[in-house]
Amino acid sequence: MPDPAHPISLTDRLPEVTAAQLLAGLVPPPQFARASFDSYVPDPAHPSQAQARERMRDLAARIVEPPRKGLFRKAPPPPASLYLDGGYGVGKTHLLASLAHAVGPERSAYGTFVEYTHLVGAVGFRECVAALSDRALVAIDEFELDDPGDTVLMSRLLRELADAGVTLVATSNTLPEALGEGRFAAEDFLREIQALAARFEVMRIDGEDYRLRDGRPERTALSDEEVRLAVEQASASGAQASLDDWGGLMAHLARIHPSRYGQLVDGLDLVAVTGVHELDDDMVGLRLVVLVDRLYDRDVPVRLGGAAVADLFSPRMLTKGYRKKYFRALSRLGALAGRPLP
């Protein structure tokens, strides 16, 4: 039984992750462990959602049972690659996870853009290509275009995988203010991977963020005392709850490679932080984004004392180059902050 008087602290954890574990972890995250095309519920007000589901379902069937080679015909090429373009919370990750499940873990690899770049750093580029080339599908969630070096690296990786006959499916986000302006993110994506652009079919998925209808969580802040009480209640019920100070946690994240953030929060039923205040440092903000993504993957409830979720990033950060990541983090963290206590 957890001791309510001495909750777990993330700053006491220093996880180690091997290259083999990173490769084995290229599967849909726990929150989408049971995702399927049938469990994706399109919004009738946005027909593009149902169209995207059927296109992904068709792609899965073509990957699982490709057309057979005829007596006088060459083997058919792999199915065309897809790029899903849309705003936050329209179900792109759900569809991508459903595709990976339909193809199967032996023939597919699923990860975020950041996880693939971490994988290349851990095992080396050639080894990464060799490990992924035998998959029929490589799925890349949250393709990011704000780091030129990482974008060039991923473009090269995708080109080599495509040459090996791997079908690629990527998702990315359109900024809330860019919705309705056409394929805003898609144009950026295709320009950056121009050597592969002809292979990608772009599908736009319209709709509102199912997590947050206005794109950002409400400005309702908890007190530090309320957060501590939530930890005591969760621990008393047998849940594994962590409690950390905001400044200490941000400093701890700087000491751990982001590829280990998933293991940092594994096994937790609640993550609580006191003394939360607005950030205005992109290095700190980007580390927080990765932590939020790993918490969201695991569907771990979060409680923040001090600043409200909506006020975590400064106005400057929400108007500059990394704003897509910050808006995604706000959307996801807002959802986790609303999860019931374990």
**Do 56 and 190 fall within a single domain?**
yes
pTM of this structure: 0.80
Specify the number of domains making up the chain: 2
**Do 103 and 145 fall within a single domain?**
yes
**Do 41 and 183 fall within a single domain?**
yes
Give me the domain span that covers residue 301.
Answer: 10-16+214-337
**Do 230 and 196 fall within a single domain?**
no
Where residue 128 sits, what CATH number does that domain have? 3.40.50.300
pLDDT value for 178: 47
**Do 71 and 219 fall within a single domain?**
no
What tokens appear for 234 in the block?
A: 């969760």
Angle at 168 between CA 162 and CA 171, to 5 degrees: 140
Name the domain boundary from 176, 205, 234: 205
Q: Do the domain assignments include residue 5?
A: no
pLDDT value for 73: 56
pLDDT in tens, 87-134: 778 899 999 999 999 999 999 999 998 899 989 988 899 999 999 999
Mean pLDDT (whole number) for 298-319: 94
CA distances from 225 to 219, 275, 277 (A): 18, 10, 15
pLDDT in tens, 131-172: 999 999 999 998 877 677 787 888 889 989 999 999 999 998
pLDDT in tens, 201-235: 888 898 876 665 444 555 678 999 999 999 999 99
End-to-end CA distance of the chain: 14
**Do 173 and 274 fall within a single domain?**
no
**Do 258 and 277 fall within a single domain?**
yes
Name the domain boundary from 205, 222, 255: 205
Q: Using alpha carbons, select from 21, 19, 47, 51 the residue that is nearest to residue 37.
A: 51
Instruction: State the average pLDDT for the chain.
Output: 87
**Do 146 and 225 fall within a single domain?**
no
324 vs 245, which has greater pLDDT?
Answer: 245
Q: Do the domain assignments include residue 138?
A: yes
Name the domain boundary from 139, 171, 205: 205
Alpha helices in the chain (DSSP H): 19-24, 47-64, 92-103, 113-123, 125-132, 148-163, 184-192, 224-236, 246-254, 261-265, 282-298, 323-337
